[in-house]
Amino acid sequence: MYQVGDLVKELSDKHGHARESLMPILQAIVQKHNYLTDEAMVEVARVLDISAAEVYGTASFYTFLDTQEKGKYVIRVCKTITCSMKGKSDIIHTIEEILKIKVGETTPDKQFSLIETNCIGWCHKAPAILINELPYTELTPEKVSEIIKDYMQK
Amino acid sequence: MENKGLTKVDLIFEKIDSHEVLAKGFKMSSDEIIQEMLDSGLKGRGGAGFPTGMKWKFTAAEKNPEKYIVCNADEGEPGTFKDREILDRVSNKVHGGMAIAGKAIGAKKGIVYLRGEYSYLLPKLMIELESFHKMINEIGYDFNIEYRMGSGAYICGEESALFESIEGKRGEPRNKPPYPTVSGVFHKPTSINNVETLVTAMMIIQHGAKNFIQYGTKDSRGSKVFSVSGDTPTPGIFELELGMTVQQFVNEFGDGDTKAVQVGGASGFCVPRKKFAETIIGFEGVPTGGSMKLFNSSRSMYNVLHNYLDFFTEESCGQCTPCRVGCQQLLLGVEKVKKGEAASTYLNELMKLADTMKIAAKCGLGQSVGNAFKSIVGNFKEEIIY
């Protein structure tokens, strides 16, 4: 849990109070806190003067606007056909072993979440993952284990 | 049928002097630009293939003083990654194409809708956008572009879902008509074009429609960027002249053991080896937004189909029943047949369901699930059953 505080006000000052500002505001909250709390969504609804149901309805439509708690680093492993053909399962097993979590889970220290995602546009360099915004491609179990260990040092 | 063979070209990624091309474009009238596009025969590069000149003509004809040009950069079709590369390497041509389109339709505002998966590109694009705005300012032309980000929803590549998303709503497609040219983003007349289409439009202004039509065939003019992946020794992004057969494509990119090529991604068509020679890649044969996936004989086409159906089941927006329930039932259905819980004749029922979805689904997502389903089941029935 995080306290949303003045963040929504700052963001609405920047992006405006119109309905079209909703996505940029939600995206900015997720960028900072990795997911949307109920409290944050209610606050956004209050500031934009729309119903909380509208905010929740919009947020829950988009997979990157998580409404469940997520870690500081969200690892999204592409599971679409080419990545699947080129060793996606080995990549997932490697990450699961290092972080001691399964797909869909978050580490107890709230540092990492591991999820599967649909095509991220790197089929020619499969298998590929995203860690927050950054893509990592042409992965092998060795390569991904180094990458995750680097993040653990951060 | 015309057959041009496989020819690599380098026009899309060619470095150009945007200033010069735009100055030329801005001197042309709206009618002249539209005529040039009509003469070029350019069809949309996102996959649907609507003639760009017609789209601009319809939008230009609308009287509303507030119009928009929207660049669809929500590239989510499995196996497509060309727009990312285009934005990464030649964003000046994307922005330039939007300004040309703006001049043609009478829009002063442009919006690029970029998929969330590509947000790592944004800092660089912002710098390039700033120099673009500076440049058209120097030319003395009034046009402004802003970026809006997606957040991981394949359906937002559908034009009306994309508008809803820009407006801050769930990305649920609208009924059409009205078409975007009449009522698009913010319910204003809008021309929405794919990233590559806009770059190609810029190229047509630069080289002229006369030169452009030297490439490609009567039904598929020009060249196009292909995203090549799967079982190939040379995966990557290649600009090829339109009009080759799948066989010629496989001769160049295959690994010697290609049994099928999925043309146009999960929503496209599966072409089996026996049809390689007779199938033209283009609007006269199998259309594609650029996704070309090769499968060799070690691959199970059941797994391919299952992966696509799983994809559609997750990415269906859920708004209309034919698509929401249809995708789920197709997925469950092939699983049942595979496990022997349903007779193989059950596939015929599923084929009928795919047909129903084609007519009853609200948007292109549900309508096109049947493309992959029917072409994979139709050509590889044994692999689906046993």
Mutate to test the interface with A, among B124, B125, B228, B229 (most CBs of A within 10 A): B229
Mutate to test the interface with B, among A30, A58, A63, A85 (most CBs of B within 10 A): A85
Q: pLDDT by residue (tens digit) across B7-46?
A: 899 999 999 999 999 999 999 999 999 999 999 999 999 8
Domain boundary among A19, A37, A59: A59
* Position B62, amino acid: E
Read off φ and ψ for residue B369, nearest 5 degrees.
-60, -35
Residues A81 and A140 in one domain: yes
**Is residue B282 in some structural domain?**
no
ipTM: 0.97
Residues of B in contact with A119 (CB under 8 A): 76-79, 154, 311
The CATH number covering residue B339 comes to: 1.20.1440.230
Distance from CA of A80 to the nearest CA of B (A): 7
Rounded Cα gap, residues B135 and B95, in angstroms: 11
pLDDT at B263: 96
Range of the domain at B80: 18-212
Residues of B in contact with A123 (CB under 8 A): 78-79, 81, 227, 229-230, 235, 293
pLDDT at B5: 80
Rounded Cα gap, residues B225 and B185, in angstroms: 27
- Binding-face residues of B in 162-221 toward A, CB within 8 A: 165-172, 186
Minimal Cβ distance to B118: which of A30, A57, A121: A121
Q: pLDDT by residue (tens digit) across B111-134?
A: 999 999 999 999 999 999 999 999
Read off φ and ψ for residue B35, nearest 5 degrees.
-60, -40
Mutate to test the interface with B, among A49, A81, A82, A130 (most CBs of B within 10 A): A81
Is pLDDT of B55 > 80?
yes
Rounded Cα gap, residues B117 and B294, in angstroms: 24
Predicted TM-score (pTM) of this structure: 0.97
Read off φ and ψ for residue B341, nearest 5 degrees.
-80, -15
Cβ of B236 and A64 within 8 Å? no
pLDDT at B2: 56
pLDDT at B289: 87
Residues of A in contact with B84 (CB under 8 A): 121
Domain boundary among B168, B193, B212: B212
Looking only at the bridges linking them, the beta strands covering A73-78 and A112-117 are parallel
Cβ of B81 and A58 within 8 Å? no
A22 touches chain B (CB under 8 A): yes
Minimal Cβ distance to B230: which of A18, A61, A82: A82
Minimal Cβ distance to B293: which of A20, A81, A125: A81
Domain boundary among B212, B242, B257: B212
In degrees, rounded to 5, the angle at the alpha carbon of residue A48 between the alpha carbons of residues A44 and A53 is: 60
The CATH number covering residue A143 comes to: 3.40.30.10
Q: pLDDT by residue (tens digit) across B199-233?
A: 999 999 999 999 999 999 888 999 999 999 999 99
Minimal Cβ distance to B79: which of A18, A123, A130: A123
Which tokens belong to B319? 């708004």
* Position B361, amino acid: A
Q: pLDDT by residue (tens digit) across B159-172?
A: 999 999 999 999 99
Residues A93 and A148 in one domain: yes
Range of the domain at A123: 73-153
Query: Which regions in chain A score pLDDT beneath 70?
Result: none
